[in-house]
Structure formats: structure tokens, C-alpha cells
Amino acid sequence: MTDTASLPVAIAQYTVARESERNLMMIDAFARDTADGGARVLVLPEGLIARDGDDDSFAAAHAQPLDGPFVTGLRRVSADRHITLMGTVHVVPAIPRHGETQSDARVSNMFLVIRDGEIVASYSKLHLYDAFSARESDAVLPGTTLPPVVDVDGWRLGVMTCYDLRFPETARSLAVRGADAIVVSAAWVRGDLKEAHWKLLTAARAVENTCYVLACSEVGTRNIGCSRIISPMGEVIGEADDEHPGLVVATLSRDRLETARRVLPVLANRRFADPQLR
């Protein structure tokens, strides 16, 4: 029987390379170390296939189909290491059926949850990063549905991608659908006050929803790192810096979660519920 009183988790902070094969090797090494340490969940950054810190369009330009070599490699790592992988890849549109035409050539920025070699959930990023002079929507097609909540060893984990963090209704939708923790896969861009925003928003999403938050950001010349794990009361229980790769590990506690929701019953005290968030 699975012990649901706690859930050991890990976040892999690293610089995504230009070469997809090298990225798979790094992910496998992190997955091995995570499994050896007893964790069952490994959170990865946004845009896992390929990245160039000086080229905003590089990740989308190297999109692959879901049955392509990179996602196949992720599935193999998950199966070999008996671990749940969570992170985003850029996915090319499905090939049109006979007689149809491809109306939009943009790719999807897709969050995948892969357990024991199988894709158990996927989510196309809702809020595209059209801010701070960036234009993600030029290359990426926005999603149309709320992100899912998935079960991992008796824990309910909701997912979000990077810029979604700035939209509190997205996190709230996960909490009201039963999320115990919110997992954020990101490539949070450096800039004036951007590190402060990241830390503020990750903590806010935890406290206002009394959920754990597992927030992973790619680290490099362009992106800040600062990956972190936050308790339902806003305490940072695991954290990385803004330049070094490595694993951030923590254990989620059911008792700690239930205590937070008992003393701070914000979900139960809500006066207005938006049915669209469900």
C-alpha cells in the first residue's frame, strides 16, 4: 500500500543545452540521482528539447512530435528509473488528415507528466509570454483548457507553465479541483525585479491556495534559476541559487498540508466561486 503521509520530491535546475541528446543524458542523470535518493517525482524546466540563451525562438524552432525521439527518450528514462517526470516540451502540430490543411504552423508549449514510461497527462500553456518585449505567441499556439490535476502516489499535483504563475486564477482553479501541490515548469527570464517577482509569486500561489508549490526554472545567461519548494504557509523548504545546477529536494507532508488548511481555511471561506475554474 502506498504511504500517502509524505511525498519525497526533487527539482532539477540546470542549463538546457542546444543538443537534444545531451539534454536527455542530463535528465537521465538527474532521474538516477532522484530515484537513488528515494524521491518519486522529478520536476524539470520549461522547453526541455533544446535551448539557446541568446535566441528566444530556438526552443520552438526545435519542436518535435509527441512520438518523436525526445519524448520517446523521456518515456524511457521514466520507465528505467521508475519515476514521474514533469516538464515542458515544444510539440509540432499534428499532421492534418487527408483533405485538411494546416491552418496554424505554430507549435505547442506542452507540459507533460510521464509516469513509468507513459504520458499520463498533458497541458498546452494557456498564458503565452507576450510581455517585457517578448512575443512567445509569434511561435507558440496558446492552449484552450485549464491545466490538469494528476495523482502521484496518493497526492494530487496540479501543473502550470512559467507565465501562468502571474495569473492567480490558474492556480486557484487547481486548488479548488483538489490539488495538494502546484508544479511550475519555467524558464523565467532575467531582468529588473524579475527575481523578486518569481519569489513573490511562487510564495503567493502557495499561501493563497494553501498548497505546496514546486517551482523549477531553467538557469543560464537568460534565465534566473532560483528553483524552490514552498510549504502551504509560504516557508521555503528547498531552494537553489541563480547560477548553479543541481537538485533541490524536499518531502511534502500530509500533516503539514492539513494543518495549514485547518488554521487558514481560505479555500473553505471563499464567498464567490467561478464555475469556469472547475
DSSP 142-156: PP-SPPPEEEETTEE
Active site residue 125: yes
Location of C-alpha cell 475554474: 277
* Residues 116, 121, 124, 126, CA torsion sign: negative
Give the integer Cα–Cα distance in Å for 156 and 266.
Answer: 18
Is the separation of the CB atoms in 82 and 116 below 8 Å?
Answer: yes
Of 46, 211, 216, 226, which one is the catalytic site residue? 46
DSSP 13-41: E-PPPS-HHHHHHHHHHHHHHHHHTT-SE
Active site residue 216: no
Helix (H), strand (E) at residue 238: strand 236-239
* Residues 206, 169, 110, 58, CA torsion sign: negative
Active site residue 46: yes
Rg over CA atoms, the chain: 18
Of 136, 162, 216, 218, which one is the catalytic site residue? 162
Is the separation of the CB atoms in 143 and 125 below 8 Å?
Answer: yes
| Residues identified as active-site | 46, 125, 162
